[in-house]
Amino acid sequence: MLKDIIKKEIQETITSAKFVFTFLLCAILILLSVYTGIVSYHSDQKEFSAAVALNKKNLESQPSYMYLASLGTKINKPPQVLGAISSGVDEAVGRVATVNISLDPNLVDSKYESNPVFSVFGALDLTFIVKIVLSLFAILFTYDAIVGEKEKGTLKLTLSNKVPRDRLILGKVIGGFISLLIPLIIPLILSLLILLVYPNISLAGQDWIRLLLMFLMFFLYLSVFFTLGLLVSARTNKSSTSFLVLLFIWVTFVTIIPKLSVVTAARLHPIPSVHEITAKKDAFLQQIQVEYQKIAINYTKENPMKKGENVKEYQDKFKKWAEDIQQEATAKIDANNAALELDYGAKKRSQVSLAINLSRVSPASALTFSTMSLARTGLDEHDRFLASIRGYKPIFTKWANAKMMRTLDFSGAGQTAKVVLDDMPQHKFEPETLSKSLARTIPDFGLMLFLIIVFFAGAYVSFLKYDVR
């Protein structure tokens, strides 16, 4: 009997115009989003390699270490292949940072900056499609699952037979879920195939695991709306009411809770403005510059060249002193910047994590954050990348200062020492490991499972007591 109910449920759904429409739209959207994601990853990858090469060429062509030190090197953020599925914050945050001896590095030049219209509509990645479109479909498939049968009179007719109610709801759940999965799984498999055959895109073993976890998350997210639809349809007496209630909950989950939590977090945990921090950094920089200029002037006063002293020796001594003093000054600046950033970063992080945790009660936010973490396109990965650049800055500065001071030329001909990059320290970044990403997403998986269980149990119990007339 259960088999008959499941079969009927699937048959009834897939022969409907609703299903055909959904299937087509799902297929088009999923394939389109994965395809455009891959294409844009591909072009990002190209852009990235070009930028790295250009930077190297640029550095090599500098006339002296002095130029190199003040111009600095550019660190480009490598694109993430899974960003094709979940672009996360990658489109909104900066992609390139300039590291030189004076300014504190920051990632700038985001995709949104180059085309602000993007930011208005957001990315059309698979996560977005699942979050907005497919969740609506899940509702569309279930809002009348029970109340619709009541309106058709088929519920009474069904229950005038020897059909236990728990069997009936179970059959409806299984059948309904299978019919929802069909328009989802077929395009997803096709898009995996695209990923496999698309040239120049290779997913490492770990990426496949990440991808499968993301798909699992999509599946759980849609199950949440599926069971929610069942629950509401088992608690209403009119399908139009059921649909309205579901639409209201959907809007709350998808837009209101995430936006409200950001606003609330900003109220509860205010942070100083970026300008304030920058002004502080600049003021300190100026102060140090003035201070050390004085020291430099005093040096020549206090250490005049002694009679009979070798000019070369005197200059070397000065170079040695100047390098030390320069290192000291930049180290102070770096330390001050780091302290400011640490404080600012801590405040910002607490605001951000408050916003994230507040919004996480909505499955839509949980979906967004978890897929971002799994794709390594989230805020945390971005912060880690920025931190690696800030960690690299003193290393670069030290190297550049040494090079600059040791090649100071007092002959009047200006600096002519050729720039050699062989021993220039390189920026290194270790992407987050799978286990760390996974640990970050566990609460989201937990929330989804919790909601599914609660909604399903609610639908089950409600249906056992449902007034079928």
Partner 1 sequence: MLETINLTKKYEDGLLAVDRLNFKVEPGEIFCMFGANGSGKTTTINLLLNFIPPTEGTALIEGIDVTKEPLRSKDYVSFVSENVMLYGNFTAFQNLDYFTKLAGKRGLTKADYAKGLKSVGLQEDAFNVRTKNYSKGMRQKLGLAIAVIKDAPNILLDEPTSGLDPKSGQEFLKLLIQMRDQGKSIFISTHDIFRAKLIADRVGFMKKGRLVIMKTRRELEGEDLTELYIQYMEERPESEPEHPK
* Interacting residues toward partner 1 by CB under 8 A: 1, 4-5, 8, 11-12, 15-16, 151-154, 156-164, 467-469
CB of 462 to partner 1, least distance (A): 16
CB of 16 to partner 1, least distance (A): 5
Contact 80, 377 (CB under 8 A): yes
Task: Tell me which DSSP letter residue 432 carries.
Answer: P
Nearer CB in complex with partner 1: 170/454: 170
Q: Which residues, at least 6 apart from 131, have a Cβ–Cβ distance to it below 8 Å?
A: 221, 254, 364, 367, 368
Nearer CB in complex with partner 1: 11/310: 11
The gap between the terminal CA atoms of the chain, to the nearest Å, is 23
What is the rounded CA–CA span in Å between residue 355 and residue 338?
A: 25
Nearer CB in complex with partner 1: 158/357: 158
CB of 245 to partner 1, least distance (A): 22
- Altogether, the residues listed in the chain come to a count of 469
Nearer CB in complex with partner 1: 18/320: 18
Nearer CB in complex with partner 1: 153/425: 153
CB of 151 to partner 1, least distance (A): 7
Angle, helices 239-251/205-233, rounded to nearest 10 degrees: 140
The CA-based angle 266-268-270, given to 5 degrees, is: 55
Convert 270-325 into a string of H (helix), E (strand) and C (coil).
Answer: CCCCHHHHHHHHHHHHHHHHHHHHHHHHHHHHHCCCCCCCCHHHHHHHHHHHHHHH
CB of 18 to partner 1, least distance (A): 9
Nearest to 441 by CA among 387, 388, 365: 365
CB of 250 to partner 1, least distance (A): 25
Give the ranges where 72-164 is alpha helix by DSSP (H).
111-114, 116-121, 126-128, 135-142, 147-152, 154-159
Secondary structure element (H or E) that encloses residue 98, with its range: strand 96-99
Nearer CB in complex with partner 1: 160/411: 160
Nearer CB in complex with partner 1: 149/381: 149
Nearest to 393 by CA among 151, 187, 104: 104
Nearer CB in complex with partner 1: 24/263: 24
CB of 13 to partner 1, least distance (A): 8
Residue 14 is encoded by which pair of tokens? 């897939």
Secondary structure element (H or E) that encloses residue 73, with its range: strand 73-76
Amino acid residing at 142: T
CB of 447 to partner 1, least distance (A): 36
Nearer CB in complex with partner 1: 114/161: 161
What is the rounded CA–CA span in Å between residue 85 and residue 28?
A: 15
Nearest to 440 by CA among 360, 344, 341: 360
CB of 161 to partner 1, least distance (A): 4
Nearer CB in complex with partner 1: 16/43: 16
CB of 17 to partner 1, least distance (A): 9
